[in-house]
Amino acid sequence: MLCAATTPVYAFAQDAAPAGEPAAASDVDYGNDIIVTASKRSQTLQDTPIAVSVTSAADIQNSAIRDLIDLQSAVPSLRVSQLQSSANTNFIIRGFGNGANNAGIEPSVGVFIDGVYRSRSAAQIGDLPNLERVEVLRGPQSTLFGKNASAGVISIVTQKPQFDFGGSAEVSYGNYDAITAKASITGPISETIAFSLAGNFNRRDGYAQDLNLDTDVNDRNRWGVRGQLLFEPTDALSIRLIGDYDKIDENCCIAGNVIAGPTIGITNALVGGPSVDANNPFSYNVYNNFLSSNEIENYGGSAQIDYDLGNLALTSITAYRKVQADTNQDSDFTSADLIGEKSDKVGIDTFTQEIRLTSDFDGPVNFLLGGYYFHEKVKQQSAIKFGDDFRDYGNALIQGASGGLLNVGVLEGALGAPSGSFFKVGTGLDEAYRMKNTAWSIFGTVDFEVTDRLTLSAGANYTQDRKRFSTDVVSSDAFSKVNLDAGAYAPFRNQLLFQGGVAAGVGQALGLNRAATAAEVNAFAGANPVAFGGIATAAQTNANNNQNNPAANPLNPLKAFQFLPDFFNLPNAFEPNRTRDNDLAWSLRAAYEVTDTVNVYATYATGFKASSVNLSRESRPLAADLAAIVAAGQATPNLTSGTRFATPEESEVYEIGLKGQWSVAALNLAVFKQSIKGFQSNVFNGTGFELVNAEKQSTFGIEFDGSVRPVQGLNLTLAVTYLDPKYDKFTNSSFGDISGTMPAGIPELTMAVGGTYTHEFAGGTRAIFHADYHYESPVQIVEGLNGFPPSVAQSLKREVNQLNASFTLALTNGLEVGVWGRNLTNAKYLTTVFPAVAQSGSVSGYPNQPRTYGVTGRFKF
């Protein structure tokens, strides 16, 4: 957390450090003396006029932070949530963020590892060996990073190879048979070449139980290797080569039943017992009919060249990344075999090139000038198929919706479909999507020292972004292909109108307050033939008058069960299949050194994120394009409007800040008003994701963090974030006009408080005790739920109270042993909730991780 870093850092991932400068120091507390590269220059945190939180390697080690999900417990302005697979993690800074669950959406929060942009969210930090620090930059960062990030940046920095031989090894064992191991070695190959080689292994049994499959789920199984070479042939030239490969093969992610709707009775009947744990969403007891799988490969390489030209420094970073994810999930989250397959195979190839020229003149003017190129290809193959139980499930739904008048077999006969074709096992959607994204930008900043204490800065970033995409989605769902309004079915609809009118009339005559059953109708007709004749005549007249009235179509309730209709694919003659975006983002900043220990700054900055593409089964023509398609007679059955893509995000922030550094304390304060026009909202509706733009979302906020060292060896930290977010205007959300409301999932108050006490014994042995507490005030988890009144979503709240602690004994021979625990109070809450898949009236949710603890042994040499 900001000001809580316990290890001063002197090696920079994005700026070459002078030869011979140490890579790390001791565990003494230095507060704002920590060196960061948030501004693309090596500066102390005190002198960096940017809202940035820094979590050092020591903090990560003491807090047992294993991945970016855990990092939020140290950075209050950051929120991270795990979604339906190990490859889907959503990052939110100051209440802004998106990008998970849809390969066509770049995140609003950019993740960089050693200066290389990671375009998708399957990024780990705890398994990265030789991690040096994590910088979280808050607010738009367009003028410092060539790849625009409209909400903020997470910059992960690892240590460079060293010319002194050394290394480390670490093994940890915890509950759920968790085993993590890391090892690294570094040293010289020659006087001008150094290397480092590292590997990691992370395995854990599942912390949840699948009571239907009788096995644990939500396990962890991942490993990786990483190698580096550092060439320093002269004092002026440094070349850093990095290659890495990591693999994930695990079962993830469970969803508990939050609200048990009327369909639960059907699924219970289908399996002859409980199909969900309907009483306790936090029990970590789930029911599935097959294990979900996540196989993810992530690999790539980069080359960073730093050349010292005296008063100028030239940096080039070239990188190629490949992510291959193959996932399959029992996405109905019941033990009934409703969804037999929900698979996604996604391949992402990314090439980036960045060049920067940075000045270091003695005069009042200095500058940074850069260019950035980004090229990416996305290929995705997906499928969603009906399972063995879906035909019986669909039959029950249709019977319930028609008051018992209809079933699947009757519909197949009446609509001319082959027997057994509706909801047939193995039918559904086969999906293929492609997207190519090319972007380039020119960016830079100029700093002008008006006086020794006052510096004015201006920056700009001009970006061009081009995306081209296509779809090839084929439906084999026979029922969804039927146009229930078609004229060919008019006689059948007329018959149903008549039958329904008779049943309603008899029910009214009998005072039942419902439609009469077939047996009740027959009995009434026999006992009251005259009255029955009148009811039948009225029913027939009503049926004749309404046989062509779409609103009176008795098959209308069945349209909700046409889950997977035919797709209207791109490219086509009516819609564009490309986006072209241009933007000029800019910033102005004034930084003033009030005293040698207090700095203040004021910033205005804009940011930009290009159009995002809806690469999902909810990708539908825009309303204007749909009208043209219908007019041309090219519409597929049940085609509705939606969004193929969302237009760009344009952000701006007004911010003032104060940074103070004293001998025993440090503090940082930021007050800001940040907004995004065109925020790209991505919401699950029960069968797919709807991508739409909010006209404007804004947040007023106050961020404070500080540290104090009241006695030798004790460092106390406090970080607090207050946010007041709202949708200034959001008229076309998935839940209607929600303008003026508070965005879901963004707590008003977030706090991280911690303490680290280090005691050194005679002889040099040290004992280190650390504890930290993370709090988030109660907040509505989701903006709305399709099919539910607003009050249901408003009743679903999340409050976070998490306690973490560790104790480490560091011996003088480089050996360390310790114990650690996360979420020690076993606090339980839901991270995300969503409508249950194809189960109207039910809600599912992802629970947080339970208490974990373990022991660690570490050796450094």
Q: According to the model, what pLDDT value does residue 693 have?
A: 93
Radius of gyration of the chain (CA): 30
**Helices (DSSP H) in 428-489: which residue ranges?**
none
The whole-number pLDDT of residue 760 equals: 93
Q: Are residues 448 and 507 in the same domain?
A: no
Distance CA(482)–CA(562), nearest Å, equals 8
643 has a pLDDT exceeding 90:
no
Give residue 425's pLDDT: 97
- Rounded to an integer, the average pLDDT of 791-802 is 93
Given this model, what pLDDT does residue 16 score? 34
In a domain, 549, yes or no: no
3-state SS, residue 46: helix
DSSP one-letter string for 786-827: TTS-HHHHHH-EEEEEEEEEEEEEE-TTSEEEEEEEESTT--
Whose structure tokens read 């080569």? 241
Crossing angle for the helix pair 490-509 and 529-546, nearest 10 degrees? Answer: 140
Give bridge partners of residue 354 from the DSSP assignment: 317, 372
Are 638 and 483 in contact, with CB atoms under 8 Å apart? Answer: yes
pLDDT digits (tens, 9 = 90+) for 524-570: 999 999 999 999 999 999 988 888 888 899 999 999 999 999 999 99
219 and 244 share one domain: yes
* pLDDT score recorded for residue 99: 62
Specify if 798 maps to a domain: yes
394 within some domain: no
Is residue 50 included in any domain, yes or no?
A: yes
> For the chain, how long is the longest CA-to-CA vector?
109
**Shared domain check, 153 and 174:** no
Which two tokens mark 160? 């460079």
- pLDDT of 24: 36
Pairwise CA distance, residues 69 & 78, whole Å: 10
Q: Which domain holds residue 235?
A: 166-388+425-481+561-860
Does residue 17 carry a pLDDT above 80? no
Provide the pLDDT for residue 593: 95
pLDDT above 70: residue 110: yes
Nearest to 852 by CA among 821, 827, 807: 821
> 262 and 145 in one domain?
no
Instruction: For Cα atoms 808, 223, 13, give the angle at the middle one, nearest 5 degrees.
Output: 70
Interior angle at CA 108, CA 104 and CA 111, nearest 5: 95
Query: What confidence score (pLDDT) does residue 64 get?
Result: 78
Question: Is the pLDDT assigned to residue 100 strictly greater than 90?
Answer: no
Question: CA 58, CA 17: separation in Å to the nearest integer?
Answer: 21
**Domain boundary at 127, 158, 189, which?**
158
Q: What pLDDT does 589 receive?
A: 94
The answer to whether position 436 is within a domain reads yes
* Sequence-ordered alpha helix ranges (H) in 458-602: 490-509, 518-527, 529-546
Residue 255 in 3-state DSSP? Answer: coil
User: With contact defined as beta carbons under 8 Å apart, do 188 and 160 qualify?
Assistant: no
pLDDT of residue 40: 63
> Domain end: 506, 541, 576, which one?
541
Q: CA 470 to CA 576: how far, in whole Å?
A: 10
> Rounded to whole angstroms, how far apart are CA atoms 777 and 79?
13
Q: Is 324 inside a domain boundary?
A: yes
pTM: 0.89
Q: How far is CA 515 from CA 19, 505, 521, in A?
A: 87, 7, 9
* CA atoms within 13 A of residue 456's CA, in its CB half-sphere: 3
| φ/ψ of residue 40, rounded to 5 | 65, 15
Please list the alpha-helical segments (H only) found in 547-670: 623-631
Rounded CA gap, 282 and 783, in Å?
Answer: 21
**CA dihedral for 27, 31, 33, 36, sign (positive or negative):** positive
Q: Examine the domain organization and report whether 200 and 249 are in the same domain.
A: yes
Indicate whether 352 belongs to any domain.
yes
Strands, sheet with 208-210, edge to edge from the N-terminal-most edge strand: 215-217, 208-210, 285-286
Q: Which tokens go with 825?
A: 């109070």
DSSP per residue over 637-652, as a string?
TT----BSEEPPEEEE
- Tell me what pLDDT residue 30 has: 45
Count of domains forming the chain: 3
Interatomic CA distance for residues 527 and 303, integer angstroms = 91
Do 333 and 312 reside in the same domain of the chain?
yes
Residues 153 and 172 reside in one and the same domain: no
Of the candidates 201, 198, 203, the one whose C-alpha atom is nearest the C-alpha of residue 186 is 198
46 pLDDT above the threshold of 80 = no
Q: Which residues of 252-291 are buried (b: 16+ CB within 10 A; e: fewer)?
A: bbbbbbbbbbebbebbbebbeebbbbbeebbebbbbbbbe
The amino acid at residue 159 is Q
* C-alpha neighbours within 13 Å on the C-beta side of residue 266: 22
Say whether both 666 and 625 belong to one domain.
yes
Q: Are residues 467 and 491 in the same domain?
A: no
Residue 522: name the closest of 542, 502, 551, 547 by CA: 502
pLDDT confidence bin for 69, thresholds 50/70/90:
confident
Q: Are residues 151 and 200 in the same domain?
A: no
The answer to whether residue 475 scores a pLDDT higher than 50 is yes
Q: What integer pLDDT is reported at residue 761 of this predicted model? A: 93
What letter represents residue 738's amino acid? I
Q: Which pLDDT score is estimated for 8?
A: 29
> What is the β-pairing status of strands 208-210 and 285-286?
parallel
Question: Percentage of the chain surpassing pLDDT 70?
Answer: 92
Residue linked to tokens 């303490």: 755
**DSSP code of residue 849:** P
Task: Give yes or no for a contact between 277 and 283, defined as CB atoms under 8 angstroms apart.
Answer: yes
SS3 call for 566: coil
Average model confidence (pLDDT) for the chain?
89
Mean pLDDT, rounded, for 50-68: 80
> Per residue in 442-472, pLDDT tens?
999 999 999 999 999 999 999 999 999 999 9
Cβ neighbours, 10 Å, residue 804:
24
DSSP track, 669-695: EEEEEEEEEEEEEEEE-SSSEEEEEEE
Which one is predicted more confidently, 267 or 11? 267
Grade residue 707 by pLDDT with cuts at 50, 70 and 90.
very high
Residue 39 lies in a domain: yes
* Sign of the torsion formed by the C-alpha atoms of 673, 678, 682 and 683: positive
Tally Cβ neighbours within 10 Å of residue 737: 12
Please give the pLDDT value at position 86. Answer: 66
Average pLDDT on 509-531 reads: 90
User: By percentage, how much of the chain surpasses pLDDT 90?
Assistant: 67
- The whole-number pLDDT of residue 87 equals 64
Q: Are strands 474-475 and 365-386 parallel, antiparallel or unpaired?
A: unpaired
Q: Can you tell me the mean pLDDT for 263-269?
A: 95
Q: What is the C-alpha separation between 226 and 431, in angstroms, rounded? A: 35
Q: What is the C-alpha to C-alpha distance for residues 333 and 254, in angstroms, rounded to an integer?
A: 8
DSSP state of 479: G
850 three-state secondary structure: coil
* Strand spans (E) along 406-536: 428-449, 454-471, 474-475
Smallest CA-to-CA distance from 649 within 611, 622, 699, 690 is with 611
Torsion over CA: 115, 120, 125, 128 (sign): negative
Residues 38 and 136 in one domain: yes
- The answer for residues whose C-beta is within 8 angstroms of residue 558's C-beta and 6 or more apart is 398, 401, 402, 406, 411, 484
Q: Are residues 324 and 231 in the same domain?
A: yes
Residue 726 phi, psi (nearest 5): -160, 155
Residue 364 pLDDT more than 70?
yes
- Confidence class of residue 22 from pLDDT cuts 50, 70 and 90? very low
Higher pLDDT, 2 or 733: 733
Q: How far apart are CA 726 and CA 697, in angstroms?
A: 6
Integer Cα distance of 158 and 407 in angstroms: 62
Q: Is pLDDT above 70 for 591? A: yes
- 576: domain CATH number is 2.40.170.20
